[in-house]
Structure 1
Amino acid sequence: MRSVMTPVEAAWVAGLFEGEGCITWTSKGQAGLAVTSTDYDVIERLALLVGLGSVVAKSPRTEERKPYWIWKVGSQEDFLSVAEQIEPFLLSRRSARLREVRALLAQHQERVAARRAEKFRPGTGICRKGGHDRSAVGVTTQGHCAECDRIRNRTKKAKAREAAEAGVSP
């Protein structure tokens, strides 16, 4: 579900984000937004206005510290939706980081699409994993080499049998 904020709401979210937020990029190609606060009412309002993401309660590591809450957006679609709405209200440093992570996300999505197109061309070529001729062995509905799929299933069943014979759950 795509959430649309009014300009005033987006400006409020951007202001909070400037002070308490962070933009993340993982090595696995995941972009995210997060805001951390010890004021639950602020995080609750943020989640309500944005309408996306999740709120997680965290316990302090020491008794001297207060409990805190984190609002996170991890889905790529939600990341792009929120980023698009708050970017006009962000200052230059955060806006530049947002553009950088958007570009990284676009590059990652292009690489993934290219790999999928190369690897999962149904019924053609040689599979990259096992070297099987996919036109001879076939392709699963997910686009995987059928022979690699059969080998993987046989291996799983053999391991389950061995575990059962040893009295260990797999």
Structure 2
Amino acid sequence: MNLAYIAGFFDGEGCVSIAKNGSLTVSVVNTSLPVLEMMVDVLGVGVINNRTQKVNKRQYAYRAYGDDAAAVLRSLLPFLIEKKPQAETALDYFDNHRGGVRKAGVKGLFKNPMRDVFRAKLTEQKFA
């Protein structure tokens, strides 16, 4: 498995998101554990968890967060087609606009108006 294959797989099955706490996340949910394990081997980052769903087949979720998610997107970017605009938007956010001020009394939440701008842009790109 190479980066081009992973990028094609990610184009069809993957997700790029910015969490409410401002963390960049990439994920892929699939029923093929061996493919997701190969992604971890080739990319060198990420974790795989069982995904609890009421479906006929067991599902697994590959996820990478923060710096690891950015590294995944940078590795796949030259090969992405469908998710390329989302990857570029996410990396712009990660490189230039992440961070912020911790909200008083709310663990893990940051006040960063740019987070909401970039989350909205990602959502718009997903449905374009």
Do Structure 1 and Structure 2 share a fold, with TM-score over 0.5?
yes
1:59-107, Cα deviation, whole Å (9 max, x unpaired): 3325xx2111011001x2111211111000000x411111111222221
Larger radius of gyration: 1
Is it true that 1:99 corresponds to 2:92 in the alignment?
A: no
**Gaps spanning 5+ residues in structure 2: where?**
105-128
Alignment of 1:11-50 (within 5 A): 11-50=4-43
RCO greater where, 1 or 2, for CA within 8 Å and sep 6 or more? 2
**Structure 2 length normalisation: TM-score?**
0.71
CA contact (8 A) 1:60 1:66 kept: no
Give the match's secondary structure for 2:54. coil
Give me the whole-angstrom Cα distance separating, in 2, the residues matched to 1:66 and 1:32: 25
**Structure 1 length normalisation: TM-score?**
0.54
Superposition misfits of 4+ residues, deviation over 4 angstroms? none
CA contact (8 A) 1:54 1:71 kept: yes
Is it true that 1:69 corresponds to 2:60 in the alignment?
A: yes
Give the match's secondary structure for 2:61. strand
Give me the whole-angstrom Cα distance separating, in 2, the residues matched to 1:22 and 1:58: 15
**Gaps spanning 5+ residues in structure 1: where?**
1-7, 117-128, 130-170
How many residue pairs were aligned? 102
Larger proportion of strand = 2
1:116-170, Cα deviation, whole Å (9 max, x unpaired): 9xxxxxxxxxxxx8xxxxxxxxxxxxxxxxxxxxxxxxxxxxxxxxxxxxxxxxx
2:50 to 46, 49, 57: 57
